[in-house]
Structure 1
Amino acid sequence: METIYLIGFMGAGKTTVGKILADLLGYSFYDLDEYIEKTAAQSIPEIFAEKGEAHFRLLEARALRSLPVRRAVVATGGGTAAGRGNLPYMLEKGLVVHLAGDFSRMYARAAGDGRERPLIAAKSREECFRLYQSRLPFYRKAHFSVDTTDRSPAEIARTILERLKERENGKTFPEKAERKDERGYE
């Protein structure tokens, strides 16, 4: 079976859900940001500080293409889908799942999870919201979306697994997850 790429904004739960989903499927799990840090031998904040976001995005695109394209779950960075050529690559090589949710909750998780996130550190909440809005058109091109609001990571992973089983049985996906308005609110 193909690789499953999880996309969505910072704090959507891609890494946590991805680990659970990979375990349920018996697949390998890759966190793209961690993979970049390992191969670059630098943290993402260091890459941003020393070489800038453009260099990071180049490393991200290379790393994405170096990962297996079978029997893997990949938790992408929040901006991966918006990177030049990344979304078409993922759509061609695997199944792309958008973890959709309420912006306020994702922002709070991302800002308070203890990870150094250069884009959160350098931007105000309103700037992060505009960044989120600019990425929505890319996220919405996923094969399907799963609403993460008020759901545990395990519930989200099981929902994705159910959708995968439907796909294997030849069923088409139901309409994408109900959309919040453009501001990410119910």
Structure 2
Amino acid sequence: MPIKNIALLGFMGCGKTTVGRLLARKLGFRFLDTDSLIEEKSGLSIPQIFERFGEKHFRKLETQVLEEVASWKKLVLSTGGGLPMKDENWKLLQEKFLTVFIEVPFETLWRRIAADPGRPLLRRYPRKDLLEKLYLERLSRYRQADVIISAGESTPEEIAEAIIDHAQADC
């Protein structure tokens, strides 16, 4: 039985895109990043979308992109950190993908993302405590994923291999 499409979930900075590219290459799957696809379709960067149209519009674009790619085959999808929070997105992810949460401790995430100007949510959550609150709000949804990979000290290669092991066992 073939391996199901895989959706990578997790907070910004957890390594979804890096791991996703590696995983897709190893499986011979196509790799897509929802944020990159939104940028490509809109002609705007994620920070520009947030600035011009707001987060609500961005979340609508996320849903549109997810609906578009959900029926594709042999796909590794890196989702935006907030994408799984919308119930209709979560339902589609559960139906069409093996969902994988890449779990990284908040302190590690904070070190990775604190100085990144390409993270529009840092404008809304500029302090560590505010961003941690958002992380904790999302954590319960992330933990509903089919597979949870604790990735604090693991390399992207090790994470990809662990996901492959789970995906093969799932099919």
TM tier, shorter chain? over 0.9
1:14 correspondence with 2:53: no
The counterpart of 1:26, out of the listed 3, 25, 28, is 28
Moved over 6 A (4+): none
Structure 2 residue runs of 5 or longer lacking an equivalent are none
Higher relative contact order (CA 8 A, sep 6+): 2
Using a 3 Å threshold, how does the CA distance of structure 1 residues 2 and 164 change in structure 2: closer, same or farther?
A: closer
1:5 counterpart SS class: strand
| Superposition map of 1:84-95 within 5 A | 84-95=87-98
Structure 1 residue runs of 5 or longer lacking an equivalent are 169-186
Using a 3 Å threshold, how does the CA distance of structure 1 residues 74 and 115 change in structure 2: closer, same or farther?
A: farther
Q: Which residue of 2 aligns with 1:178?
A: none
The alignment yields a C-alpha RMSD, in angstroms, of 1.2
The counterpart of 2:130, out of the listed 127, 131, 144, is 127
Q: Which residue of 2 aligns with 1:117?
A: 119
Query: Shift of residue 115 of structure 1?
Result: 5.4
Using a 3 Å threshold, how does the CA distance of structure 1 residues 115 and 25 change in structure 2: closer, same or farther?
A: farther
Name the amino acid aligned to 1:52.
G
Identity of aligned residues (%): 37
2:44 counterpart SS class: coil
Q: Distance in 1 between matches of 2:137 and 2:65?
A: 23
What is the TM-score with the length of structure 2 in the denominator? 0.93
Q: Which residue of 1 aligns with 2:49?
A: 47
**Which range is displaced more, 45-54 or 103-112?**
103-112
Name the amino acid aligned to 1:156.
I
Alignment: residue pair count = 167
What is the TM-score with the length of structure 1 in the denominator? 0.86
- Does the 8 Å CA contact 2:4/2:167 hold for their aligned counterparts? no
Name the amino acid aligned to 2:34.
L
